[in-house]
Structure 1
Amino acid sequence: MITNAQSRTNIHEIAEGIYRINTPVDLPNGLGFSFNQYLVVDDQPLLWHTGPRRMFPLVREAMATVMPVERLRYVGLSHFEADECGSLDLWLAAAAEAQPVCSQIAAMVSIGDVVDRAPRALADGEQLSLGRHTMQWHDTPHVPHGWDCGLMTDTSTNTFFCGDLFTQPGHGEQALTEGDILGPSEAFRQPMDYFAHGPNTAETITRLARMKPTTLACMHGSAWQGDGGRLLRHLAESVTARQ
């Protein structure tokens, strides 16, 4: 559903109770790109990624078509970066009971200072119940980038909120696809590689593959459905080969 005709911001359910909010943009080099946020609607709703600060009105407008913004309870982020948490303070102002959710490192080095509301800092493997959905935190330092990086899985729908992994070019017109996203995402990564390429990069991705997710909630481009464990293993192989 298109929620803003001018920006073409749209919202679609990609798994039970999980909505992708997508805003397409055009980059200066002429390539299309997109920013996605994911809303988990539950007793204690969670927004994963805030989007850049200037997109706040668009994301808020889209959220309001599904649930009252004031109901938002958690605002999750993978790492400290504008498209992850640029509008965090605006969301906390809009939802009086909302709380940031991040890694313990992010809470210590960034989030505990840049906003006044204390974050919920999760340890590796820790779970957060939203009601019907249970989110599990995974520490992924430097994967794809950032010492403070971490990712989440909804264990009830087997949805992996994979952040910048599998970043795809284009506007992400298809909310959920079963097509190839590894090829386009790896081709997009090569000109300006955004992976940190630490000594444990492939090992970390392989560890995530063992969760065997069936839906990948990508931050840029289409969400994906299929054998997520297999696709993550192929990503680990590709990253290792290109190193």
Structure 2
Amino acid sequence: MITNAQSRTNVHEIAEGIYRINTPVDAPDGSSFSFNQYLVLDDEPLLFHTGPRRMFPFVREAMAAVMPVERLRYVGLSHFEADECGAMNEWLAAAPSAVPLCGRIAAMVSVGDVADRAPRALADGEELSLGRHRMQWLDTPQVPHGWDCGLLMDSLTGTFFCGDLFTQPGHGEQPLTEADILGPSEDFRKAMDYYAHAPQTADTLKRLSRLRPTTLACMHGSAWRGDGASLLRHLAESVTA
């Protein structure tokens, strides 16, 4: 469903109660990209990734097509970066009961100071119930980048909110795909070199593979459905090749 004809922002359900909000963008050089936010609709709704601040009106409009914006309870981010939390305070203003949701490092070094409301900081492995959905936080320092980086796994649907992992170029026209995303994402990674290439990168990816996700909620490009454990192991192999 397209919710804004000007920005081409659209929203689609990719798993039970999980909606991808996608905004495609075009660069002056002719290349294309996309920004995704994920809304988990539950008793205490969660938005993972806010999008850049200037994108807030489009994302808010998309959320309003699914639920009242003021119901939002958690504004989640993987690490401190504009596309992760640029619109954080706009969301906190729009939803009076909402609080930022992040890892302890992000809360300590950035979010606790920048956010207009104190964050809910999660420890590695800690679980948070939204109602039916149960989210587990995984610390992933420097994977793919940022000391404060962490990711979320939903036990109800097997959805792994994998942030910048498997970033794909293009508009991400397919909300949910079963096609190859490793090839395009690795080509993009090698060209942009946005990984920190930390010593523990492969071990972290292998640890994540043990979650055995069946849906990957990618921040840029299409979400993906399939054997997530195998895909994460292949990424570990590729990154360290």
TM range (shorter): over 0.9
Distance in 2, Cα, partners of 1:116 & 1:219? 24
Q: What residue in structure 1 maps to residue 165 of structure 2?
A: 165
- Structure-1 separation of matches of 2:84 and 2:218: 12
2:35–2:221 Cα contact (<8 Å) kept: yes
Other-structure match for 2:120 = 120
Q: How big is each residue's C-alpha offset from its partner over 1:86-140, in whole Å with a ceiling of 9 and x where there is no partner?
A: 0000000000000100010000000000013110000000000000000000000
Name the structure 1 match of 2:9.
9
Q: Name the structure 2 match of 1:58.
A: 58
- 1:94-133 correspondence runs (5 A): 94-133=94-133
In structure 1, the gaps of 5 or more residues are none
Distance 2:104 2:72 in 1: 22
Instruction: Please report the RMSD computed on the Cα atoms of aligned residues, expressed in angstroms.
Output: 0.5
SS in 1 for 2:198: coil
Q: CA deviation at 1:192?
A: 1.8
Structure 2 counterpart of 1:15, one-letter code:
A
Q: Deviations over 1:149-195 (max 9, x none)?
A: 00000111010000000000000000000000000000011122000
Tell me how many residue pairs correspond in the alignment: 241
Which deviates more, 64-73 or 114-123? Answer: 114-123
Deviates more, 1:140-149 or 1:22-31: 22-31
The TM-score, its normalising length taken from structure 2, stands at 0.99
- Structure 2 gap ranges (5+): none
Whether 1:214 aligns to 2:189 is no
Please state whether the residue corresponding to 1:83 is helix, strand or coil.
helix
Secondary structure of 1:191's aligned partner:
helix
What aligned pairs does 1:70-149 form with structure 2 within 5 A after superposition?
70-149=70-149
Identity over aligned pairs, percent: 80
Query: Partners of 1:170 and 1:62 in 2: how far apart?
Result: 20
Per-residue deviation, 1:30: 1.4
1:75 and 1:198 mapped to 2: Cα distance? 28
Q: Following the alignment from structure 2 to structure 1, what is the Cα–Cα distance between the partners of residues 179 and 45?
A: 29
Runs of 4+ in 1 over 2 A off after TM superposition: none
